[in-house]
Amino acid sequence: MIRTIEWTGSSVLLLDQTRLPRSVQYVEVRTPLRMAEAISAMEVRGAPLIGVAAAYGMALSGIARKGELLGIEQDGAVLRAARPTATNLSWAVDEQLRAARAAAKGGPLAVTEALIENAMRIHKEDADINRRIGEHLLTLLKPGMGVLTHCNAGALATTAYGTATAPFYLAKERGIPLRIYADETRPRLQGASLTAFELFEAGMDVTLICDNMAAVLMQKGRIDAVITGCDRVARNGDAANKIGTFSVSILAKHFGIPLYIAAPGPTIDFCCPTGADIPIEERDGDEIRRICGVLVAPKGVPVYNPSFDVTPAEHIAAIVTERGIAYPPFEKNLCALYGVQP
């Protein structure tokens, strides 16, 4: 698996995912503001990886601000605003602020050390969470099944294994055959440039399809399950993920195919009642007007470009977390998994 993020002790090395699959290049991030830019520009992307990057961004803030809490809180607000939909980002900022405030009585140096140590903990825990999600998802699959995934919830979106792709990596390790289909995922083509890239490089049986080909494959009986990641799960089980996931869920429901959502604990927002309460990021229209920088539509034509949509809970067969598998009713069962009051 390609290394996506690394802490050097005073800076962060990020795999520049805007350059994949054409080249593998890293950018060095030395300030929290540059980290916010990297998140906004999608040099680093994927909800879990954004959370890890934000945690390190707060560590960089501790260094730059010399442990001064007010400045660290201001940098946290900038990082939090970089992308509003993925709850991992705000979760990581909040985790870091708690660590900083708890360490404040020890002085500025203690604050900075706490931010660095906590970021490294969040980094390590992400890989552990992903593997456990993979173990649970693998129990829902049988050898030879065809599985469709949308966008990139893979190793490139995390620190290891991915979330939706974690069972694919584990199946590969154990010699369990799976047929994987990856939607190209317009408009930024993360399925083509990232998911197909990483699974193909890992030697898996992966086939790339256009977004509008999923229905035909389902009709032909080639898809037995759909697994996607998510950027935020509401308390009732509604799940926000890359635009197009809602469409796939409608197709899966029509053909009687189970849709599983891979959801790390930090992605579940128990303070968000339903999907209607999830903020949806809208991005620049040129992401649709252009493909790989080439204009494919009239310059200046109005564009609607939401980055995410919400799949309603009734379209989801199960939400798979590091703590286990939650089946409907999701509010009751997710709360039980995480010890939250229903």
- Burial label for 304, CB within 10 Å (0-12, 13-18, 19+), is exposed
Q: How many CB atoms lie within 10 A of CB 44?
A: 29
Work out whether strand 308-311 and strand 239-242 pair parallel, antiparallel, or are unpaired: antiparallel
Cα 28 to Cα 44: distance, rounded to the nearest angstrom: 12
Question: Which one, of 29, 125, 39, 51, lies nearest residue 83 by Cα?
Answer: 39
Q: Report the Cα 239 to chain-centroid distance in Å.
A: 12
- Check if 128 is active-site: no
- Could you tell me which residues are beta bridge partners of residue 310? 240
Classify 268 as helix, strand or coil.
strand
Cα 108 to Cα 131: distance, rounded to the nearest angstrom: 36
Q: Among residues 75, 126, 183, 231, which one is catalytic? A: 231
Any idea which residues carry the catalytic annotation? 231
